[in-house]
Chain A
């Protein structure tokens, strides 16, 4: 067979350095996150009830809505959400774990013991006024309380009701009874089947196993897709006045991020397996050792491979693997990887970036090479560029004080999302919210407290 030569010219990627200053200056002024508080909010007409429990997914979904301006009421059992204890080494900050603290943003925090009829009734009255409900229980739990969508739609046909649970609220496994967990979301998503070091010649090792993504990616994917479903349903409601139920299973949310796994299996009946530092569809596109750590480096298409091997001054390596088919060949990838590492270990990650930028920016030859040195949590957090971009913020919270955290990632010229406060202690907003929405005053609340309703 004649192997076709791939001429990927990256048609729309014009890597000229002379960026249009007019645009850059204009947009920086127009979407500067420091001016977010001067602008209106996209979702400030919405009331959201987040009654999720033990799920960062539910919390993240309501965080997104709260960042865009929705009034979000977090409803926890009187002892607090079990997610308040998802925290490294059991570390608490002013009584709350760090995982929850990050996703308590801009929300009101109240308590309700939904096992009690009075609490169920209070919830129902809140639901009658709400636009959105978010829950993460096993299917049937809210239903038993008379608070599932099929009940609430009778009192509020405009309601959008979102559920997020590992197995979802329908389908043959929905009733399996297992609790939700990020590790199982990731395990069921397919991402772990391709993340991890493949077995080497020495046979299996403790680390040659399917490996999860370092963060709670399953939960975050589930929460992100739930917010997507809710906002999509919101547009439909805008047009028709009709609410509906949105159901998300986090493994499926993450599966939607799993490239072409399913398509590849459909087309060929084969699987990719653990890829480690290699990649099945672009290579080299890999992590290599450097003098002072690790760097990512890529040079996949023929011109880019030429660029990379020019920078490395390794024309022989180029000649050895001349086409993308050679470079995508599983058998060849270790040799290519080693070839690059032989070079990269002589430089620091910063030096490699400088070499690459010099080549690309000054057009010293064909091809675009992308590289980045691996920053750890400390490096990233201390990098002023991200602070300048408003990606991290240090805010003064009335209860938690001066704490730094990740801000919403969107920049918008008209209705940017923003941070107002960080979190609240368990039941911190009972007085305000019960009065504001249910006309329940302090005396009654005290009575309810004694009865373990709040």
Chain B
């Protein structure tokens, strides 16, 4: 029963090579998406990676706004890189729901779906005749989720635009990220969007469980800023109890000591020892076992006191200066304290560990070719998540979706196209169309 024996078992149970030999957990769940940017589209993406069938509805022509958002304006094979992470495994229908015919098609699709996801301003869908109240008329079991900046009602819900960074700014996350006396730091990623979407997916899954039990659907709302507030650990209660207005403290953790980033000879290393046992190991590794006996540092709660913490972090900083990142990382393994280099995208891309865990996920997209993206972080032994295809050009699956789910005939589909109720991509702006060497067939289902 050694650790090696256990790891041999887990490596076999989670073998990435067998992903496509296993069933999908959410097979049979169908999701209708009317979303742009990240907060909305990521919800069906997360669920679609586990087998839910997702119909993404975009406006004919320009489609999702995220098709314009890509790092340094880089359009790769005519695709927006910003559009890729939250649009996998979806069917792409370009449908103008502003028209009455378009709204009716949307309602009919909703009738065939289990979940509807939208991220518009409160009340917009209702105005278009496709809001929760209208959709539950045609499908009483529907689970409907709306995500946006400030929710469906309340002091900020009306008339105020929101983005991820607005959520970071109003939630307290911005005020507590960065170094003292310096610029408050926007997290370098759209965390309010992505985490908000995870909250959304969790809401949908819990509602789905209730529906499995009772057959009843419901409405769910999520605000990206409010989601971030949930995650600010002890900030609120400490303010409530002691009026402590949590400042920015760089990489130092005020509640775990030591936990910080230290500069080695060749770069920064993250290091933590949150328990007395781990701290003793660290002191051994530093060659200063007496530190663990020092009454100022020996016990975790004493060590956390401001004066003690500051002096201890200085001692560790002095020691770290004499080491390389690799040396400290190795000492962490040998002695049992937490240590890590700061990984960037290249380190992760090339990491055998991330690849073995299918977190760096390779697949071949029919239109874009060889893809390397980020797989679902939730690893399920019996029903693993998977990426099958990437984001598609606007309207690529119009014919397939309308024929398969609504049984429309060729002449009807043509009429809808002529009336511009459905449509395909525009040439400009970029980010909408297939690559220039596309043969007109690759990736088309029907």
B398 at the interface (CB under 8 A from A): no
Q: Which residues of A contact B408 (CB under 8 A)?
A: none
Asked whether B123 lies within 8 Å of A214 as measured between CB atoms, the reply is no
Q: Which residues of A contact B222 (CB under 8 A)?
A: 409-411
Asked whether A260 lies within 8 Å of B161 as measured between CB atoms, the reply is no
Q: Which residues of B contact A210 (CB under 8 A)?
A: 261, 268, 342
Q: Which residues of B contact A54 (CB under 8 A)?
A: 274-275
Q: Smallest distance from the beta carbon of B98 to chain A beta carbons, Å?
A: 9
Taken together as a complex, chains A and B put the C-alpha atoms of A35 and B245 apart, in Å, by: 31
Asked whether B381 lies within 8 Å of A238 as measured between CB atoms, the reply is no
B interface footprint on A344-384 (CB within 8 Å = 1, 0 otherwise): 00000000000001001100000011111111111011001
A249 at the interface (CB under 8 A from B): yes
Asked whether A4 lies within 8 Å of B428 as measured between CB atoms, the reply is yes
Q: Which residues of A contact B127 (CB under 8 A)?
A: 20
- Of the residues B184, B195, B248, B380, contact of A221 by C-beta under 8 Å: B195
Also in contact, A228 and B234, with CB within 8 A (given A235-B25, A277-B186): no
Q: Which of A1-53 contact B (CB under 8 A)?
A: 4-15, 17, 19-20, 22-24, 26-28, 30-31, 40, 42-43, 45
- Of the residues B230, B338, B344, B381, contact of A409 by C-beta under 8 Å: B230
Q: Which of A166-213 contact B (CB under 8 A)?
A: 166-184, 186-197, 206-207, 209-213
Asked whether B161 lies within 8 Å of A64 as measured between CB atoms, the reply is no
Instruction: Give how many A residues have a beta carbon under 8 Å from the other chain's beta carbons.
Output: 200
B302 at the interface (CB under 8 A from A): yes
Also in contact, A191 and B377, with CB within 8 A (given A89-B306, A262-B360): no
- Of the residues A92, A233, A280, A377, contact of B383 by C-beta under 8 Å: A233
B227 at the interface (CB under 8 A from A): yes
Q: Smallest distance from the beta carbon of B204 to chain A beta carbons, Å?
A: 9
Q: Which of B357-408 contact A (CB under 8 A)?
A: 357, 359-360, 371-374, 376-383
B176 at the interface (CB under 8 A from A): yes
Main secondary structure of the interface of B (DSSP, over half): mixed
Asked whether A266 lies within 8 Å of B373 as measured between CB atoms, the reply is yes
Also in contact, A264 and B81, with CB within 8 A (given A12-B59, A197-B183, A272-B188): yes
A292 at the interface (CB under 8 A from B): no
Taken together as a complex, chains A and B put the C-alpha atoms of A180 and B275 apart, in Å, by: 11
- Of the residues A187, A256, A375, contact of B172 by C-beta under 8 Å: A375
Q: Which residues of B contact A209 (CB under 8 A)?
A: 251, 261, 263, 268
Taken together as a complex, chains A and B put the C-alpha atoms of A86 and B11 apart, in Å, by: 32
Asked whether B234 lies within 8 Å of A102 as measured between CB atoms, the reply is yes
Chain A, Cβ-Cβ closest to B245: A378
Taken together as a complex, chains A and B put the C-alpha atoms of A281 and B72 apart, in Å, by: 6
Asked whether A242 lies within 8 Å of B382 as measured between CB atoms, the reply is yes
Asked whether A259 lies within 8 Å of B190 as measured between CB atoms, the reply is yes
Q: Which of B68-103 contact A (CB under 8 A)?
A: 68-74, 76, 81-82, 84-85
A252 at the interface (CB under 8 A from B): yes
Q: Which residues of B contact A43 (CB under 8 A)?
A: 206, 209-210
Taken together as a complex, chains A and B put the C-alpha atoms of A28 and B155 apart, in Å, by: 12
Asked whether B184 lies within 8 Å of A374 as measured between CB atoms, the reply is yes
A267 at the interface (CB under 8 A from B): yes
Taken together as a complex, chains A and B put the C-alpha atoms of A97 and B274 apart, in Å, by: 13
Asked whether A214 lies within 8 Å of B173 as measured between CB atoms, the reply is yes
Q: Which residues of B contact A263 (CB under 8 A)?
A: 76, 81, 84-85, 372-373
Asked whether A175 lies within 8 Å of B3 as measured between CB atoms, the reply is yes
Asked whether B187 lies within 8 Å of A191 as measured between CB atoms, the reply is yes
Q: Which residues of B contact A187 (CB under 8 A)?
A: 261, 270, 340-343
Asked whether B254 lies within 8 Å of A403 as measured between CB atoms, the reply is no
Q: Which residues of A contact B85 (CB under 8 A)?
A: 259-260, 263
Asked whether B201 lies within 8 Å of A228 as measured between CB atoms, the reply is yes
Also in contact, A195 and B382, with CB within 8 A (given A20-B127, A190-B343, A260-B81): no
B411 at the interface (CB under 8 A from A): no
Asked whether A256 lies within 8 Å of B376 as measured between CB atoms, the reply is yes
Chain A, Cβ-Cβ closest to B428: A4
- Of the residues A11, A23, A229, A264, contact of B380 by C-beta under 8 Å: A229
A340 at the interface (CB under 8 A from B): no
- Of the residues A23, A166, A329, A391, contact of B123 by C-beta under 8 Å: A23
B interface footprint on A204-246 (CB within 8 Å = 1, 0 otherwise): 0011011111111100111011111101111110110011111
B441 at the interface (CB under 8 A from A): no
Asked whether A259 lies within 8 Å of B189 as measured between CB atoms, the reply is yes
Interface size class of B (residues with CB under 8 A): 35 or more
A interface footprint on B118-158 (CB within 8 Å = 1, 0 otherwise): 00111110110001110000000000000000011111111
Q: Which residues of B contact A437 (CB under 8 A)?
A: none
Binds A, one of B213-221, B287-295, B412-420: B213-221
Taken together as a complex, chains A and B put the C-alpha atoms of A94 and B174 apart, in Å, by: 30
Asked whether B305 lies within 8 Å of A90 as measured between CB atoms, the reply is yes
B319 at the interface (CB under 8 A from A): no
Taken together as a complex, chains A and B put the C-alpha atoms of A389 and B222 apart, in Å, by: 11
A434 at the interface (CB under 8 A from B): no
Q: Which of B306-355 contact A (CB under 8 A)?
A: 306, 309, 332-333, 336-346, 348-349, 352-354
Q: Smallest distance from the beta carbon of A453 to chain B beta carbons, Å?
A: 21
Residue in A28, A330, A380 with the greatest tally of chain B CB atoms within 10 Å = A380
Also in contact, A248 and B379, with CB within 8 A (given A7-B429, A210-B261, A281-B69): yes
Asked whether B73 lies within 8 Å of A328 as measured between CB atoms, the reply is yes
B194 at the interface (CB under 8 A from A): yes
Q: Smallest distance from the beta carbon of B335 to chain A beta carbons, Å?
A: 9
A133 at the interface (CB under 8 A from B): no
Asked whether B261 lies within 8 Å of A212 as measured between CB atoms, the reply is yes
Q: Smallest distance from the beta carbon of A371 to chain B beta carbons, Å?
A: 8
Also in contact, A178 and B337, with CB within 8 A (given A229-B380, A259-B85): yes
A435 at the interface (CB under 8 A from B): no
Asked whether A215 lies within 8 Å of B231 as measured between CB atoms, the reply is yes
Asked whether A183 lies within 8 Å of B373 as measured between CB atoms, the reply is no
Residue in A11, A85, A172, A372 with the greatest tally of chain B CB atoms within 10 Å = A372
Q: Smallest distance from the beta carbon of A104 to chain B beta carbons, Å?
A: 11
Asked whether B340 lies within 8 Å of A188 as measured between CB atoms, the reply is yes
Asked whether B68 lies within 8 Å of A139 as measured between CB atoms, the reply is no
Also in contact, A256 and B377, with CB within 8 A (given A172-B352, A236-B382, A392-B236): yes
Q: Smallest distance from the beta carbon of B84 to chain A beta carbons, Å?
A: 5
Q: Which residues of B contact A89 (CB under 8 A)?
A: 254, 304-306, 309
- Of the residues B160, B237, B371, contact of A404 by C-beta under 8 Å: B237
Also in contact, A255 and B359, with CB within 8 A (given A213-B191, A263-B373): yes
A342 at the interface (CB under 8 A from B): no
Asked whether B345 lies within 8 Å of A215 as measured between CB atoms, the reply is no
Taken together as a complex, chains A and B put the C-alpha atoms of A8 and B14 apart, in Å, by: 43
Question: Which 4 residue pairs across A and B have the least CB separation, nearest first?
Answer: A229-B378, A194-B188, A214-B176, A140-B3
Cβ contacts A to B, 9 pairs, < 8 Å:
A15-B121, A170-B11, A181-B270, A182-B253, A187-B270, A190-B348, A217-B231, A232-B378, A409-B230
A8-B62, A405-B237 known; 8 new pairs, CB 8 Å cut-off, are: A90-B301, A143-B5, A171-B354, A195-B188, A265-B346, A276-B185, A377-B235, A405-B236
